[in-house]
Structure 1
Amino acid sequence: MASSEAAEAPPGAHRVLILIDEVLEEKGMTLTELAQRTGITIANLSALKNNRGKAIRFTTLTAICDALEVEPARLFALRPRRRASRVGRRSEQRHRP
């Protein structure tokens, strides 16, 4: 996974990453070919691929999994949670009763 994808999620952002690029590379398939096999537009696949999607329908997920011959779990990962800053933790410790 690329380091930009593994970056910590900003507060309030979803942490789910879709790994279509990795699987496409493993399968030797292009996004255009995936679009043709699934009937999903390149624009919609691109939004998912670039982690701009906020939701995915099970029918869309099923079509992608069938075309790529993978289980759904292979397509997803979680970004780490953002940790509290060290400064914040120290100041909290100083102010404890």
Structure 2
Amino acid sequence: MTVHTYLEEEIFYPAAREAAPEEKDRVLERVEEHHGMVWQLSELQGLDPADKTFDAKATVLIENVRHHVEKEEDEWFPGGPQGDGPQVPAGARAGNARPPRGRA
């Protein structure tokens, strides 16, 4: 998930902002979704799976990831049902990109 977040926030979203400035609110929403999921994941990483809250936290994280993916597939990438988001080449520069050490 960290690599996904890094690639989107460092490559895809800046390209989307440049290609379609009118989409800035949608880009900011996706960044906030990332922030929430990373926070939820950090809570799970330090939690014993036997903890009474583990399953609930994992379920909410899974739901948030699914929602995020559905939004991307439906709104951002060509071929989705709506396909009305900025049409930015998703692979542009991604092939050589690597997250900074400690983030992967």
Asked whether the two chains share a fold, i.e. TM above 0.5, the reply is: no
Superposition TM-score, scaled by structure 1 size: 0.32
Superposition TM-score, scaled by structure 2 size: 0.30
Name which structure has the greater RCO, CA cutoff 8 Å, separation 6+. Answer: 1
